Structure 1
């Protein structure tokens, strides 16, 4: 445009995926981690924290980290409302303490799809989103969720 003329600039949409084409993304954007994986404590039945807690306010959208099939969604004891998804690599991701799951068991989801709304249901001291990666859909099969995401190009 000529000197002094007004120019309109549009911001490009922000992609949630950290690595283009990786097929994986963060579950709640750039939220910080409060309690990390394997932190010891008597408040957990296993004696340690089986996932990571993302520090987000109630009402924050929660997204599937990768495509998969919903194994379960709904009330789940100390996890409150949660969603468990089975992915193509055979691993399961769990998203807990949700105010509301937005998906149902058997439903297919895509990477980055909104699957729930964060909250403070279950055994919590305040709002956050607890995230686990498991080798089975059941408690006790946890693996390091930060290392799992990093192995797929997602840095937390």
Structure 2
């Protein structure tokens, strides 16, 4: 009987072994699947983390660029405003300077000759103005803006010693006179501006050579003259 049982037991044992092997294999498969799944989860998590980090870096770079652009624009705007302010200040300063120095010499490139209040045989009284030695036909300009009140020969009414002359009325009771002219180019009542052409220098009247006789007066007429050089220098003119 034992001979009959032995094969059965042997077959049962073989079946158990096979079942055990299958179980082991199944367990290994399950374990392997779990490991693969875990590895896949880890890979996905790592990829997601890398993508998020990249997105953060991209956003940070974009924000940094935007901040830099804004700073550059702000700096440029500030520089533009500063430049505009400087130009405005310069223009204001130039206008103020022009307004302050509103008197000029009546001629250019001259040499001062007979001075104010100088005595001599050329005049019945002391010299009433300042002489500017210049060539015949030199341009004569208004020393300051005003209105022409006297022109013509005979000193424009002040006497033949002045020759051809012009008198201009300025503000604050001040007048300027230009004498010994070779030509008069303005008329009575004409309004002239500072530095405007009014005549040409000459040698008319009581004159020893071409020059401009220039006076500053407190009235339009002879006898009210003051020192023209001191007057002009007080107005900022280099004489």
Normalised by the length of structure 2, the TM-score is 0.56
Higher relative contact order (CA 8 A, sep 6+): 1
Q: Does 1:120 align with 2:199?
A: no
Which segments of structure 1 move beyond 6 Å, counting only runs of 4 or more? none
Q: Does 1:68 align with 2:146?
A: yes
In the alignment, what sits opposite 1:12? none
Q: 1:153 and 1:139 mapped to 2: Cα distance?
A: 26
Deviations 1:64-96 (CA, angstroms, capped at 9, x unpaired): 000000011110211000100000121110000
SS of alignment partner, residue 229 of structure 2 = helix
Q: Does 1:51 align with 2:129?
A: yes
1:1-156 map, 5 Å: 20-21=98-99, 22-45=101-124, 47-75=125-153, 76=155, 77-156=160-239
Structure with more of its chain in strand, by fraction: 1
Normalised by the length of structure 1, the TM-score is 0.84
Gaps of at least 5 residues in structure 1 are: 1-18
Gaps of at least 5 residues in structure 2 are: 1-96
Q: 2:105 and 2:180 mapped to 1: Cα distance?
A: 17
Q: How many residue pairs align between the two structures?
A: 137
